[in-house]
């Protein structure tokens, strides 16, 4: 039986250690934004920055729910005891409180796994873990820097970064190194924040771009050449395909067995 079954963690619960850590971090940030939005005046410029970031986080939750539903061994089981109903409800901005269930589930799953296994799997998933970390830090940096930039620039005479949209637009353009120059800080505090964004944001976006480029190149190099029909190579590829399908079916059966054992 697989290690997931031995530890009581099924494939329905665990979609990859680094992926689950990413969803956990996004859930915590979303709940923090829930409190932050309540602290700001409704529809103020600070409130709009948090609201815009929440749109991105909500999209991540929608994609996560779709991914879990599509890959669940039992869709009915996922929507029932698997917590899928709470995942669906948490996709609605007005029901963000249900994102607490994502935190509880991730915490429970990691506790069942144990720290040693988590570290082992994180090392084996270093590349994807780096990608998730960069995406999360980009979102977090845009929000924090956007709020700070707006604080210093909004009421400054002659400033051109005066709204939440201006602040986020400047941050994203700066991080991507495009630098249109239509928005720029004029205060000392704003320029200090700009220096932080240039250092951190550009480094994160460069890492993200390099990861994508390397992934596409590696996939192209690893793609096997097409074999001629009837050749020994074609027969070998067919055997490999059948073995892969058999392994996938075996993993599904093991996951279902683990689910039945838990029940």
CB distance 140 to 200 below 8 Å: no
Does 258 score more than 70 pLDDT?
no
For residues 43 and 37, what is the distance between their CA atoms, to the nearest angstrom?
Answer: 9
Q: What pLDDT sits at residue 11? A: 41
Instruction: Band the pLDDT of 166: cuts 50, 70, 90.
Output: very high
Domain with CATH 1.10.287.70 in the chain: 126-223
Per-residue pLDDT reduced to its tens digit, 75-107 = 888 888 778 888 999 898 888 888 888 888 888
pTM above 0.75, yes or no: no
What Cα–Cα distance (Å) separates residue 166 from each residue in 17, 61, 152, 161, 200? 36, 26, 13, 5, 19
CB 102 within 8 A of CB 23: yes
Q: What is the DSSP string of 107-153?
A: HHHHHHH-HHHHHHHHHHTHHHHHHHHHHHHHHHHHHHHHHHHHHHH
Whether residue 116 contacts residue 17, with contact meaning beta carbons closer than 8 Å, is answered with no
99: three-class secondary structure by DSSP: helix
Mean pLDDT of the chain: 81
SS (H, E, C) 214-229: HHHHHHHHHCCCCCCC
What does the pLDDT average to over 15-44? 90
Residue (of 69, 58, 134) closest to 98 by Cα position: 58
pLDDT digits (tens, 9 = 90+) for 172-217: 998 888 878 889 999 999 999 999 998 888 888 788 777 777 666 6
Nearest to 102 by CA among 112, 90, 120: 90
Mean pLDDT value of segment 227-249: 65
> 126-223 is classed in which CATH architecture?
Orthogonal Bundle (1.10)
């Amino acid at each position: 039986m697989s290690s997931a079954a031995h530890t009581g963690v099924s494939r329905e619960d665990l979609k990859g250690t680094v992926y689950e850590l990413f969803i956990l971090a996004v859930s915590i940030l979303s709940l923090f934004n829930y409190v932050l939005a309540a602290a700001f005046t409704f529809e103020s410029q600070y409130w709009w920055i948090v609201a815009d970031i929440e749109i991105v986080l909500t999209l991540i939750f929608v994609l996560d729910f779709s991914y879990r539903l599509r890959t669940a061994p039992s869709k009915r089981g996922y929507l029932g005891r698997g917590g899928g109903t709470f995942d669906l409800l948490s996709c609605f901005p007005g029901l963000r409180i249900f994102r607490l269930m994502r935190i509880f589930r991730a915490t429970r799953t990691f506790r069942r796994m144990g720290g040693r296994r988590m570290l082992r799997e994180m090392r084996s998933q270093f590349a994807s873990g780096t990608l998730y970390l960069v995406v999360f830090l980009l979102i977090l940096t845009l929000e924090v820097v956007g709020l700070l930039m707006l604080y210093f620039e909004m009421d400054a005479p002659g400033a051109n970064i005066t709204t939440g949209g201006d602040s986020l637009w400047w941050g994203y353009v700066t991080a991507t190194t495009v630098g249109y120059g239509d928005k720029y800080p004029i205060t000392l505090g704003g320029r200090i924040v700009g220096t932080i964004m240039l250092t951190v944001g550009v480094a994160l976006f460069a890492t993200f771009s390099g990861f994508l480029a390397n992934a596409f190149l590696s996939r192209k190099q690893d793609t096997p050449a097409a074999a001629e029909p009837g050749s020994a190579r074609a027969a070998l590829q067919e055997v490999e395909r059948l073995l892969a399908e058999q392994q996938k079916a075996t993993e599904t059966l093991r996951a279902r067995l683990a689910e039945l054992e838990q029940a």
